[in-house]
Amino acid sequence: MNIYAYEVLLAFVKQAFLHAGMSEKHAADAAGVLLAADMRGIDSHGIARLSGYMRLADKKRINPNPNLRIIHESPSTATVDADAAIGLISAPYAMQIAIEKAKTAGTGWVAVKNSNHFGIAGYHAMLALKHNMIGIAMTNASPLVAPTFSTSRMLGTNPMAFAIPAAAEPPIVADFATTTAANGKLEILQRKSLDAPEGWIQDVNGSSSVNPNELSNGGALLPLGSDREHGSHKGYCLGAVVDIFSAVLSGANYGPWVPPFVAFLDPPSDPVGDGIGHFFGAMRIDAFRPAEDFLHHADNWIRTFRNAKRTNPDQPVIIPGDPERECEVIYREKGIPVHPAVEHDLQKLGERIGIRFGL
Amino acid sequence: MNIYAYEVLLAFVKQAFLHAGMSEKHAADAAGVLLAADMRGIDSHGIARLSGYMRLADKKRINPNPNLRIIHESPSTATVDADAAIGLISAPYAMQIAIEKAKTAGTGWVAVKNSNHFGIAGYHAMLALKHNMIGIAMTNASPLVAPTFSTSRMLGTNPMAFAIPAAAEPPIVADFATTTAANGKLEILQRKSLDAPEGWIQDVNGSSSVNPNELSNGGALLPLGSDREHGSHKGYCLGAVVDIFSAVLSGANYGPWVPPFVAFLDPPSDPVGDGIGHFFGAMRIDAFRPAEDFLHHADNWIRTFRNAKRTNPDQPVIIPGDPERECEVIYREKGIPVHPAVEHDLQKLGERIGIRFGL
């Protein structure tokens, strides 16, 4: 794989967003959020999705000049109409409101409607950390997941992220889809023509399948837990909570009505709300106990878990966020590898919009 | 199994708690919370645990006359010192504070330290429903669960519950352990001398085990997801978030320091906080959008998911909370079945404290 400096990719993404009609500030901000995924090694959610966002903009499903605004609020809450903004812009906007609310009310909670995909949830949750707050971010997404006992695709992979500050230790950052496997994992298997493990997907009849292309045949991703005996009803509950907090609280589309990310599929013709929905939270740690006490014990929690007895001496116990942070250190120094298929896609995009992509 | 009227069991539990030294009001309230578990069919967390609570009271690990109080607060938050109260009392006390905070601030969030086990999380979350609020409840618990890649028991089954109001439909009530299987499921297999499914437990070396008694040999329960390939790191994240919200925010014991529920095991001699911890939330739905809009769409969400296409025509898709609510209707009319082993245990308890248990 060819390696690109962060700044090179950032400049290209910003140019693309400017070409889509975004303001200088929005294009720069959105490019930074998108590339945060690549930097953290979550390459399914980074520059690999740029063409997808651009196609949504072409179809006028992303508004490059949105009027983001609060449409409802209380001392600790707000609801935002993102005016069809790209989620890469609406999510940090909403998270900032949550942080401001938390400064005065102790916590802040913001539901967002009329938005689009927001990149990685963890990025937004982490915005709270420098304020000594716990950050929470979640979003609904294109319906690909079947509830337990169903063959219908009713939920997205609906990720949730939690960012928890510590003192001397790096923060805990948990960011995960509420399914057994994220869609990006299937894409990797498709590229390599490999079978998926049992428990990730079901076929159109609800039977277990190992075909990573099963979703094209009407199959579905499975909620975290895989099957009833292993707790898939709990994964279904988590996906449902994310959907309801993100969309039923905000006035966005929920369940099977969530507009697909892929521009070649039209959104449902009978929407129950506006765009997709997100939900954010910020909790000031000193709204619960003195910050130094919390931070001291967070350090102790992290060290205790990191030093827990290993099953395999060569595989340390992981603190959520460790792998992504370690990846970021390497990529910042050495550059970001871009998969040839993504490289090719970006070259084509570059030709179309008149910006050269390549080394 | 013999069947007991709710009122008969309630009277016995109340008498037991009075015998432990609780006030009339606390004994009645705690008895109602405990039996809510039996009524909802979660019999592992109901009257079957009465002897366990009584043994903790005998050891002075439960304070029958606690001075529950707020020790820290902000407009939307509070931290409660439960003064070693039984969790059946401290949890509703804290949830009520969350609800009162939400009335003025839009949301309310309460962390509790120095508490004991609180029964079923769903009961406490549901207290928010009649106020047209979403309720959230979670708690840490005795360490029985190994993080991914570890053989150490570091987390409890750490349940989380979400209660979401609707209009014409019954509310959504999701209440689940963040492990693949709850400990109560193992107890059922132990009684029947049956193997556990793969993916529920590991042995002392971290290898998969189907022995439901494996925890006695130093084994551990597995986080939701069972193994790395099926997302156990996500279940570990969920258990970690519950632990940190419940205990690091409040000043309770966390991770391996959580005092065991069983009275024959002493709490760790080097505590990092006070008692066990809980975390509660209440969110006013009209702090996000007009209540009637939310309730209308919650109904639509519920009907859409309940009518999703079935894998098996005889097995409907379940809305979280449906089975428990249906159980409650039956048990309220026909009485609550009590397992012979539990019946025998309650008879022995009755003899010890001078209150007859039986038909």
> Among B109, B294, B300, whose Cβ lies nearest the Cβ of A249?
B294
Q: What is the pTM of this model?
A: 0.98
Tell me if chain A has a CB within 8 Å of the CB of B298.
Answer: yes
Beta carbons of B176 and A76 less than 8 Å apart: no
DSSP structure class, residue B216: G
End-to-end CA distance of chain B: 12
Please report, for residues A87, A113, A247, B200, B308, the alpha-carbon distance to residue A272 in angstroms, rounded to integers and kept in the order given. Answer: 19, 11, 10, 39, 17
Tell me if chain B has a CB within 8 Å of the CB of A313.
Answer: no
User: Looking at chain B, which runs of residues are DSSP E strands?
Assistant: 2-4, 69-74, 77-81, 107-115, 133-139, 160-164, 172-176, 201-202, 208-209, 220-221, 276-284, 336-338
Closest chain B residue by Cα to residue A319: B237
ipTM: 0.98
DSSP string, B20-71: TT--HHHHHHHHHHHHHHHHTT-GGGTGGGHHHHHHHHHTT-S-SS---EEE
Q: What is the pLDDT of residue A30?
A: 98
What are the backbone dihedrals phi and psi of residue A98, each rounded to the nearest 5 degrees, phi first?
A: -60, -45
Distance to chain A for B355, nearest Cα, Å: 40
Contacts of B225 in chain A (CB under 8 A): 180, 224-225, 230-231
Beta carbons of B154 and A305 less than 8 Å apart: yes
Q: Which residues contact A221 (CB under 8 A, 6 or more apart)?
A: A144, A145, A146, A157, A179, A180, A181, A183, A186, A200, A201, A215
CB interface of B with A, residues 205-224, below 8 Å: 205-206, 224
Beta carbons of B176 and A311 less than 8 Å apart: no
- For residues B234 and A224, the answer to whether their CB atoms sit within 8 Å is yes
Beta carbons of B150 and A243 less than 8 Å apart: no
> Among A285, A308, A311, whose Cβ lies nearest the Cβ of B249?
A285
Q: Of A75, A100, A160, nearest to A125 (Cα)?
A: A160
Helix (H) or strand (E) holding A100: helix A87-105
- For residues A110 and A141, the answer to whether their CB atoms sit within 8 Å is no
What is the topology classification, in CATH, of domain B1-65+321-359? Hypothetical Oxidoreductase Yiak; Chain: A, domain 1 (1.10.1530)
Indicate the angle between helix axes A6-19 and A24-39, nearest 10 degrees: 140
Q: What is the pLDDT of residue B185?
A: 86
Closest chain B residue by Cα to residue A254: B301
Single-letter amino acid, residue B155 = L
End-to-end CA distance of chain A: 12
Q: What is the pLDDT of residue A184?
A: 81
Q: How far is CA B270 from the centre of its chain?
A: 26
Q: What is the pLDDT of residue A185?
A: 86
Closest chain B residue by Cα to residue A166: B248
Token couple for B33: 């919370």
Tell me if chain A has a CB within 8 Å of the CB of B181.
Answer: yes
Q: How far is CA B177 from the centre of its chain?
A: 8
Q: Tell which CATH classification among 3.30.160.20, 3.40.50.720, 1.10.150.530, 3.30.1370.60 matches the domain B67-178+226-288.
A: 3.30.1370.60
Every domain range in chain A assigned CATH 3.30.1370.60 = 66-178+231-320
Query: Is CATH 1.10.1530.10 what the domain over A1-64+325-359 is classified as, yes or no?
Result: yes
DSSP string, B332-348: HHH-EEE-HHHHHHHHH
Indicate the angle between helix axes A340-353 and A6-19, nearest 10 degrees: 40
The CATH-assigned architecture of domain A66-178+231-320 is 2-Layer Sandwich (3.30)
Closest chain B residue by Cα to residue A307: B150
> Among A225, A249, A272, whose Cβ lies nearest the Cβ of B225?
A225
CB interface of A with B, residues 102-131, below 8 Å: 104-107, 109, 111
> Among A72, A293, A308, whose Cβ lies nearest the Cβ of B251?
A293
Q: What is the pLDDT of residue B182?
A: 86
Beta carbons of A105 and B109 less than 8 Å apart: no
Beta carbons of B308 and A237 less than 8 Å apart: no
Contacts of A99 in chain B (CB under 8 A): none
Q: Are strands B220-221 and A172-176 parallel, antiparallel or unpaired?
A: unpaired
Q: What is the pLDDT of residue B359?
A: 73
- For residues B146 and B202, the answer to whether their CB atoms sit within 8 Å is yes
Q: What is the pLDDT of residue B207?
A: 97
CB interface of A with B, residues 138-167, below 8 Å: 146-152, 154, 162, 164
| Residue the block writes with tokens 């962390």 | B111
Q: How confident is the model at residue B358 (pLDDT cuts 50, 70, 90)?
A: confident
DSSP structure class, residue A164: E
Token couple for A57: 């903009």
> Among B74, B293, B294, whose Cβ lies nearest the Cβ of A106?
B74
Every domain range in chain B assigned CATH 1.10.1530.10 = 1-65+321-359
Tell me if chain A has a CB within 8 Å of the CB of B195.
Answer: no
Token couple for A235: 């994964």
pLDDT tens per residue across all 359 residues of chain A? 899 999 999 999 999 999 999 999 999 999 999 999 999 999 889 999 999 999 999 999 999 999 999 999 999 999 999 999 999 999 999 999 999 999 999 999 999 999 999 999 999 999 999 999 999 999 999 999 999 999 999 999 999 999 999 999 999 999 999 999 988 888 889 888 999 999 999 999 999 999 999 999 999 999 999 999 999 999 999 999 999 999 999 999 999 999 999 999 999 999 999 999 999 999 999 999 999 999 999 999 999 999 999 999 999 999 999 999 999 999 999 999 999 999 999 999 999 999 999 87
- The helix/strand count (H/E) of chain A reads as 10, 12
**CATH, range A181-221:** 3.30.60.50
Contacts of A206 in chain B (CB under 8 A): 311-312
The model's pLDDT over B65-117, given as tens digits with 9 standing for 90+, comes to 999 999 999 999 999 999 999 999 999 999 999 999 999 999 999 999 999 99
Contacts of A174 in chain B (CB under 8 A): 237, 240-241
Helix (H) or strand (E) holding A276: strand A276-284
Helix (H) or strand (E) holding A338: strand A336-338
Q: Which residues contact B25 (CB under 8 A, 6 or more apart)?
A: none
Residue B191 has pLDDT above 90, yes or no: no
CA A110 – CA A93 distance, rounded (Å): 10
The model's pLDDT over B39-59, given as tens digits with 9 standing for 90+, comes to 999 988 999 999 999 999 999
Every domain range in chain A assigned CATH 1.10.1530.10 = 1-64+325-359
> Among A109, A134, A231, whose Cβ lies nearest the Cβ of B283?
A109
Q: What is the pLDDT of residue A183?
A: 83
What is the average pLDDT value for chain B, to the nearest integer? 97
Every domain range in chain A assigned CATH 3.30.60.50 = 181-221
Q: What is the pLDDT of residue B67?
A: 98
SS3 content of chain B, % helix, strand, coil (to 5): 45, 20, 40
